[in-house]
Amino acid sequence: MKAVYQTQYGKSDVLQYGEQTSPVLKANDIRIKNHASSVNPRDWMIRSGRYQLQFLVPSFPLILGSDFAGEVVEIGNKVKGFNIGDKVFGMKNPSEGLATYSEEVVASAKNIALIPKNISYTEAAGVPLCALTAWQALVNKADMKKGSKVLIIGASGGVGSFAVQIAKALGGEVTAVCSQGNAAMVADLGATEVIDYHQQDFLKKEDCYDIIFDTIGRHSLSKCSARMNPGGIYVSTIPSPNNLKAMAATKLKSLIYKACKKSMLVMVKSDGSDLQNIAQLILAGQVRPTIDKVFPIQRVAQAHDYSRSLRAKGKIILDIQ
């Protein structure tokens, strides 16, 4: 199969496009003819050898990529619920082998979901990692309820844009933090209020929230505590020492003091059930992927450089087939 791979860590010029060995199918796996993938910040962090969980990354030759969207072409003998020809999507973490910048992807059936009929392969490839991060932060970690007041930091990014939509779809009152240039897009996604961080510091406002989801990782529970309601939850995507300590401390404290403000950490997990819940919201028109640019797979280096520039408004997609 053709794939993008690297044989050393470095800048985007270490990425090569050529023949690689097709992945092996196991009993609980599905083989997918992959039509599209996406570029996530962790891709270029892994590429350069700077990922926080680099020890989980497969050895060289390394095929990057987390998201995939394509057609089922082979099914393991223990798999039920999928058929040849199904249009499916999903994601793979480093511990699961990554390797979605490729014409073929093999993934565990439990981590795969059917693509909603109202989106394309290109759009579907922009969903799994970012939308699952948002879902697992708001639903699995923060246990969001209808009527919750939710603040999303970094609301115009890949994770943030899905978080705004998911929180809105689940009945939340959403306040978004982003730049003025992205305010209209974020409001269109469902934010009730948009705070331009260049003009106003949300920490200095008087409003308080039930959930603060920090998709950027530049804040902390101690910084945000004054803007949180009793029992409020701060969720970060960054496993920093401070966040890990706060999570452990508040977990114990909350067992005694129910109004304790808690710190949580979301590390995205591949999960077909969670992804199917997201797919239902997409099918209902309550969530939609926002695509910034589509690059052919052969121009993956330019796609990485564009992602690294932090100028993208929505997802960067790689067209593979």
Same structural domain, 138 and 233: yes
pLDDT-based confidence at residue 239 (cuts at 50, 70, 90):
confident
Same structural domain, 48 and 150: no
Question: What CATH code is carried by the domain that includes residue 240?
Answer: 3.40.50.720
- The CA distance from 123 to 37, in Å, is 10
Output the six-digit token pair for 200: 């106003």
Say if CB 237 and CB 214 are below 8 A apart: yes
Same structural domain, 115 and 147: no
pLDDT-based confidence at residue 50 (cuts at 50, 70, 90):
very high
The pLDDT value recorded for residue 256 is 84
Same structural domain, 139 and 89: no
pLDDT at 41 over 90: yes
Q: Specify if 58 maps to a domain.
A: yes
Q: Specify if 274 maps to a domain.
A: no
pLDDT-based confidence at residue 222 (cuts at 50, 70, 90):
very high
- The CA distance from 17 to 65, in Å, is 13
Q: Specify if 113 maps to a domain.
A: yes
pLDDT, tens digit (0-9, with 9 covering 90-100), for 249-286: 898 888 888 889 999 999 999 999 999 999 999 999 99
Output the six-digit token pair for 199: 């003009």
Give the number of domains in the chain.
2
Q: If DSSP codes are grouped into helix, strand and coil, which group holds residue 259?
A: coil
With b for 16 or more beta-carbon neighbours within 10 A and e for fewer, the 80-108 pattern comes to eebeeebbbbbbbbbebebbbbbbbbbbb
Q: Specify if 279 maps to a domain.
A: no
Same structural domain, 106 and 46: yes
Same structural domain, 168 and 247: yes
Same structural domain, 143 and 116: no
Instruction: Say what the pTM is.
Output: 0.96
The pLDDT value recorded for residue 147 is 98
Candidates 266, 279, 287; CA nearest to 168 is: 287
Q: Specify if 283 maps to a domain.
A: no
Candidates 87, 81, 47; CA nearest to 64 is: 47
Same structural domain, 154 and 259: yes
Q: Specify if 233 maps to a domain.
A: yes
Question: What CATH code is carried by the domain that includes residue 92?
Answer: 3.90.180.10
| CA dist 232 → 192, 210, 254, 284 (Å) | 19, 4, 11, 29
Same structural domain, 56 and 138: no
Say if CB 65 and CB 89 are below 8 A apart: no
pLDDT at 218 over 90: no
Q: Specify if 275 maps to a domain.
A: no
Same structural domain, 48 and 114: yes
Say if CB 216 and CB 154 are below 8 A apart: yes
Range of the domain at 175: 130-265
Q: Specify if 277 maps to a domain.
A: no
Stated length of the chain: 321
